[in-house]
Amino acid sequence: MGKREDLHSVLVALLGSDNVYYQAPPSLKMKYPAIRYERSKIDNVCANDGVYVQWISYTITVIGCDPDGEIISNLSKISKCSHDRFYASDNLNHDVFTLYW
């Protein structure tokens, strides 16, 4: 689809704030609601002895107090995005998605 910076802009727009963190270290103090994401996999489609198309997947975690937030619904509607799991930790809800970008 596009560059990681484009994905970052889309996530900021979906969240409605700058609380979007790429490969955030565990020591970082995040503000909530937040989105944390990292690259998880690269899939190549080969043709003529070379890479024809490359799909990069990202693990995107939406973190916040609201278990039914609008951001979850909006993110799940993006093409090539799927919801993987939900869990609660430290009184915060975590929805984990995989997105091919």
State pTM to two decimals: 0.88
Locate 53 and state its tokens.
């198309």
pLDDT along the chain (101 residues), means of 10: 88 96 89 95 92 93 91 93 95 96 89
- What is the predicted pLDDT for the residue at 67? 86
What's the rounded Cα separation, in Å, for the pair 89 and 53? Answer: 37
Peptide bond preceding 33: is omega within 30 degrees of 0, i.e. cis? yes
- What is the predicted pLDDT for the residue at 26? 81
- What is the predicted pLDDT for the residue at 62? 97
Which residue segments constitute the domains of the chain, with CATH numbers given? 4-100 (3.30.2000.30)
- What is the predicted pLDDT for the residue at 1? 53
- What is the predicted pLDDT for the residue at 19? 96
